[in-house]
Amino acid sequence: MMVLPQARLCRPEKVREALLLLAENPAAHRPVAGGTDLLPAMKLGLATAAQLVDVTGIPALNELNAAGDGGFFVGAAVRLADLAAHPGIALRYPALCEAALAVGSPQLRQMGSVGGNLCLTTRCRFYNQSPLWRESRGPCFKTGGDRCHAVPRSRRCLAVLSADTPPALSALGAQVHVTCLEGEQETETLVPVDDLYGEDGRVSRLPLGALVTGVSLPAPNPGYRTGYAKYRLRNSIDFPLAGVAAGLRVVDGAVTSARIILGGVAPHLIVAEEAAASLEGREPSAATFAEAASIAVALAHPVGNLQVPAQQRQHVLEVLTRRLLARLAAGDGA
Amino acid sequence: MAGNACLRAAEAVRERLVLAVAETVDCPPEAVLLKEGGFYVAGRSDAEVTFAEAAAKAEEQGGPVTCSGSYRPPELAANYRGGGVGPSPAYSFGAHVAEVEVDEDTGEVKVLRLVAAHDLGKAINPMAAEGQVQGAATMGLGEALLERHCVDRYGALEASDFLGYRVPTSLDVPAVEPLLVESMDPNGPFGAKEVGEGSLHPSLPAIANAVFDAVGVWVDELPLTGQALRRALQTQGDAKE
């Protein structure tokens, strides 16, 4: 059960080579960087791959540098530890730095990559189990069945987007570089982070054979402060039970722009537009933030598919949102 | 109990080595004395034998130097509930003090400090004994706050791996300050009692008591989860008003 199934490993040095290797058999050839998500899933029989295309040897995917427009480009193979340790990221994009540091444990951040975190498979306590365990209930939507074990009435998979960096990247307005082969032609599209995840936790919106090559961060808005807060039982290692990223700009005692993104409570990101709009033009105060947090969290409908009850996750998410906004208003996360 | 059995096995090994030394240096076994790393005979500078030499000789005489020892604990003084679990000539005692920080909004509890006193009889190896106390107190902390063992109606464990069954990692544990309390037990080997998991038990009530001291409500279930604590704050907090 915990033995890694055999798979061929190839290490292309160019994006094009990687795409060609994936295109040979898009369903069975999978890109891999640190392997911290894919390899355990393969051991549990949750993922299969005849060929692993290791993208860490592609120089373009290891780039981490300032872009011409004042923004930043982060290659998909950049390790989360290196991302968090980069002074330019910590200074200009604190939410991303905080989110990268909140992923897993030090060992996982040393192996895990930005692209891997963006493409993390959704998680559920009925899914991330051994084959023997899953056999007791039979297959669910995510394992080829026709039901959801967490919510039997549900018509789709509700497994949770458990990555920490996507909410932060969304708060920062990041765009994901997705590269595909169209015939012989290599095409790159820029996808806003919010659009990367669908309603259904079963499938990814990324087309088969596509490769996430990096993330572009726009130049930071002066005075726009960002941060990320995460709920988990062990601050040393666990996946999020809920997470929130926010951005806040206060000018002359009034909020001029705000963004609140919830993660870890649905198969996709939740962009709390109304909650953010409720802050605009108002004076930052405990009451305004409590109100915004309550509007934001009303959009989240976590279900009992992680080990902590949904109601507790929802409640803590509201507390974290309120506190994060207050922290940003107080001047942290500049 | 195991300590007394070990002691007897060690005494039997010593007996075999002493006999080997006595034959090597040609003296009665009673004259062979032990020192660090070997054996000697009082008044005879030519009769020093290292441990390795003695072991080689003993092996020559009777094969590998392997001895066993056994120990039978005394009868129970009385028949009481729990008495049959582990009859022992002596029991250890412990007292822990926990300092916690409670987040009343989220119900999260963080242990800031854990001082663990353990009456172990005699500390034969104090450093190892301190490590045992720290390890046991850490197990207690995990039981108190994190580790949840639930079997669902399909007979499957809810937490079937160590990502779901949350054992505290080194980063989740505060500095556990061990205090070894020696009491020289008359029945234990060299006066020792135990330093196994005895130091686990006091952590649980110490942490629950510290939470009560901090926020004034009792949680009577383990692990002491955020949702349980919030529920207690709501219900017991209302009752007080």
Q: Are A238 and B166 a contacting pair at CB < 8 A?
A: yes
- Residue B83 has a pLDDT of 63
Q: Taking 70 as the threshold, does the pLDDT of residue B87 lie above it?
A: no
Each residue's pLDDT tens digit, A265-317: 999 999 999 999 999 999 999 999 999 999 999 999 999 999 999 999 999 99
- Residue B205 has a pLDDT of 96
Q: Looking at beta carbons, which residues of chain B come within 8 Å of A315? A: 106, 230
3-state secondary structure of B126: helix
Q: Taking 60 as the threshold, does the pLDDT of residue A1 lie above it?
A: no
Angle between helix A310-329 and B226-240 (nearest 10)? 80
In this complex, the residue of B160, B225, B230 whose CB is nearest that of residue A129 is B160
3-state secondary structure of B117: strand
Q: Does a cis peptide bond (omega within 30 degrees of 0) precede residue B223?
A: yes
For residue A92, the distance in angstroms to the closest alpha carbon of chain B comes to 28
In A, minimum Cα distance to B106 occurs at A316
**Catalytic residue annotation of B:** 197
B164 interface with A at CB cutoff 8 Å: yes
Quote the CA–CA distance of A317 and A307 in Å, as a whole number. 15
- Other beta carbons less than 10 A from residue B61's beta carbon: 12
Quote the CA–CA distance of A216 and A72 in Å, as a whole number. 6
Q: Compute the count of residue pairs across chains A and B with CB atoms less than 8 Å apart.
A: 60
- Residue A334 has a pLDDT of 47
Quote the CA–CA distance of B195 and B187 in Å, as a whole number. 15
Most A-contacting residue of B169, B224, B231, B234 (CB-CB within 10 A), to test interface: B169
In A, minimum Cα distance to B169 occurs at A236
> Where does the pLDDT of residue A184 fall: very low under 50, low under 70, confident under 90, or very high at 90 and above?
confident
Each residue's pLDDT tens digit, B121-135: 999 999 999 999 999
Q: What is the ipTM of this complex?
A: 0.90
Residue A112 in tokens: 């895990």
> Where does the pLDDT of residue A81 fall: very low under 50, low under 70, confident under 90, or very high at 90 and above?
very high
Kindly report the average pLDDT of chain A as a whole number.
Answer: 95
- As beta bridge partners, residue B151 has B157
